[in-house]
A and B are shown apart, each in its own frame.
Chain A
Amino acid sequence: MEPIVQVAGFTKVYGSSRVVDSISFEIFPGEIFALLGPNGAGKTTTLECLEGIRKASEGKLLVSGLCPEKDFQKMRKVLGVQLQASALPDIITVEEAMNMFCLYLGTETRYDLLERFDLKSKYKTEFCKLSTGQQRKLILAISLAHHPKLLILDEPTAGLDVNTRVELHQIMREERAKGTAILLASHDMSEVEDLADRVAILVKGKIVAAGTPNEIITSGDSKVRIHVKTQKNSLFDMQFGEMPITKDTEGYGIFDTEDIEGAVSQILSHIKSNEDKLLDLRVERPSLEDRFINITRSGGLQ
């Protein structure tokens, strides 16, 4: 399958600062690719260069075979974008906005999308009078109006309530199912873990980890965390070999271990031999967020 996005050795320099340093990745149709990184890591710069609104300093960027910089107008036909702070004139109504951009994008006015995004009752409402969620939905509807091959979403759900987030996630899944490639930049790790097929983590302009969310999570230390609560708190009187125990504020004993089976059987036999009673036992796998924090705190050296 031909990739929709090809990035090879892409570098962006501002003055003496290399904001993005020779990164490479590909995105395929029907795939959600997430770009993660702390603030200032180069995510937005990468997106802006792919959108064609900034020039790359070095390297190759292609979107559906088009160069964002040279083929800017042609690329509008294959690209849909929701910027981090997409803005429209305050006084433009929902219908006027959809109509105006559809005409510029050479497609008929997509009333069906406004309906799909629950904006039918807001046709005559001005942009400034819409809620943040409705504004995002309108921008997303405009971005999808011309059936783009690639949809770039920069922090699409930041600051939205849970219901609107769930709704936007559903829309993203529907678009992926239709074959649209989605490039997602987000600080919401649970969103990325839930939606993304592949992830790349940027630190100081370099990709320091890439793969499926599961590959990223399991690429670090493979310890799991076991939370145990007993009636007599007998766990805290004992030593469990090399497995350290810590106590949390709710009285749970916490163990970090790579050997779940061995640790659990050791804990249960200790409880039994001490005539204690097990109240709760939970095994927690590290999340993408845990792994992201480890990677970014170490400056990507892991």
Chain B
Amino acid sequence: MKAIMNHLNFEFKSVLRDKTLLLMYYLFPLIFYFMMAAIMPSVYADFSKGMVPGMIVFTIIVSSLLGMPNPMVLNKEKGIYRSYKIYGVPLKSVFIIPVITTMIHITVVSFIILVSSSALFGAALPQNILSFFGVYAVVLFAFTGLGALIAVCSPNGRLTVLLAQLVFLPSMMLGGVMMPSSVLSKAVQKASMLLPTTYATNALNAVYSGQQALFSLQGSLYILILGGSIAYALAAYLFTWDSRSSNALRNLGGLAVLIPYILGILLL
């Protein structure tokens, strides 16, 4: 346990020491949040209503998909995980510690957003703080699972960015982060349900505002929990200690993570 805690401490500090990670985990989400909070209300009057859930989901996406996978893939490529294996670091440490540290950093930034949005921009606090944190935990679970799966399936840094952008860019446009999904056409709304972001913003917006969700809140949570569980299970199954042992065909099995979101399109 002492070894794991020590490793966790190192991983936590490594984000603060690495300029790229510091940018992805802290500067990018916070600067984006402050800019959006300052500019968007003059463009779109109702923006501040969904600002906090939107910016928290944005933080989770950036850190989980753009921040977390790349160092994991680099560790695999450079043979660092191979060294870890040889020097007795267990799989659970290699796999879980980056996820836990990412969750901690995301939570720090989310807390800053939550507190400052109320103090600086007059945003309301969540209607039910416990429900909000419960849904927040589910969203965090789903996205970090997806990030871990991208890290495991990606053979190199370039493909990692590409895979992460495949989720990140449509999420920004269609997932309800920048504007509510309700302004999209019915067909686009349905298509956007292939993205976990749509379920995340739907659920977080509902518990934050205390208003009716755009579509089933409970259904959204089930889909996110199922999506996260499948992502973690696939990531653990497909994990390899070095990129030489990675099998591209086998990694295509990672696409199974889409199953719950396809079910969401059909059922919700």
Contacts and interface: CB of A to CB of B under 8 A. Distances in A.
Contacts of A99: 6
A267 B87 CA distance: 60
A18 interface: no
Contacts of A73: 88, 90
Contacts of B18: 91
A79 to B, nearest CB: 8
A81 B3 contact: no
B107 to A, nearest CB: 22
A215 B79 CA distance: 37
A166 interface: no
Contacts of B88: 73, 76, 101, 104-105
A96 B12 CA distance: 13
B169 interface: no
A125 to B, nearest CB: 13
Contacts of A92: 10, 14
Interface string B130-172: 0000000000000000000000000000000000000000000
B17 A100 contact: no
A76 B87 contact: yes
A103 B75 CA distance: 20
A96 B9 CA distance: 10
The winner among A73, A83, A100 for most chain B CB atoms within 10 A is A100
Interface string A77-95: 0000101011111011000
Interface in A49-104: 51, 53, 73, 76, 81, 83, 85-89, 91-92, 96, 99-101, 103-104
Given A101-B88, A104-B87, A53 B241 contact: yes
A204 B83 CA distance: 27
B79 A100 contact: no
B83 A86 contact: yes
Contacts of A203: none
A89 B75 contact: yes
Contacts of A103: 2-3, 6-7
A142 interface: yes
B250 to A, nearest CB: 16
Interface string B80-108: 10110111111001000000000000000
A152 B83 CA distance: 13
B86 to A, nearest CB: 5
B243 to A, nearest CB: 12
Given A96-B10, A99-B6, A100-B7, A105 B82 contact: no
B17 A83 contact: no
Contacts of A51: 86
Interface in B9-26: 10, 14, 17-18
Report, as a range, how many residues of chain B touch the other chain.
Answer: 20 to 34
Contacts of A143: 87
A100 B6 contact: yes
B97 to A, nearest CB: 11
Contacts of B83: 83, 86-88, 139
Contacts of B86: 51, 53, 76, 81, 83
Interface in B40-93: 75, 78-80, 82-83, 85-90, 93
A86 B60 CA distance: 33
Contacts of B79: 83, 85-87
A248 B17 CA distance: 59
A144 to B, nearest CB: 12
Interface in B236-265: 241
Contacts of B75: 89
B14 A89 contact: yes
A139 B3 CA distance: 18
Contact of A100 (B3, B80, B82): B3
B80 A88 contact: yes
A92 B6 CA distance: 12
A78 to B, nearest CB: 11
A283 to B, nearest CB: 46
A104 B78 contact: no
Contact of B80 (A53, A81, A87, A96): A87
A105 B79 CA distance: 19
The winner among A76, A89, A99 for most chain B CB atoms within 10 A is A89
A135 to B, nearest CB: 11
Contacts of B17: 91
Nearest to A84: B79
Those 4 A-B pairs whose CB atoms lie nearest each other, nearest first:
A103-B3, A76-B88, A104-B88, A87-B79
9 contacts: A73-B90, A81-B87, A83-B82, A101-B88, A104-B7, A104-B87, A104-B88, A104-B89, A105-B87
Interface of A: 51, 53, 73, 76, 81, 83, 85-89, 91-92, 96, 99-101, 103-105, 139, 142-143
Given A53-B86, A53-B241, A92-B10, 4 more contacts: A86-B79, A87-B80, A104-B3, A104-B90
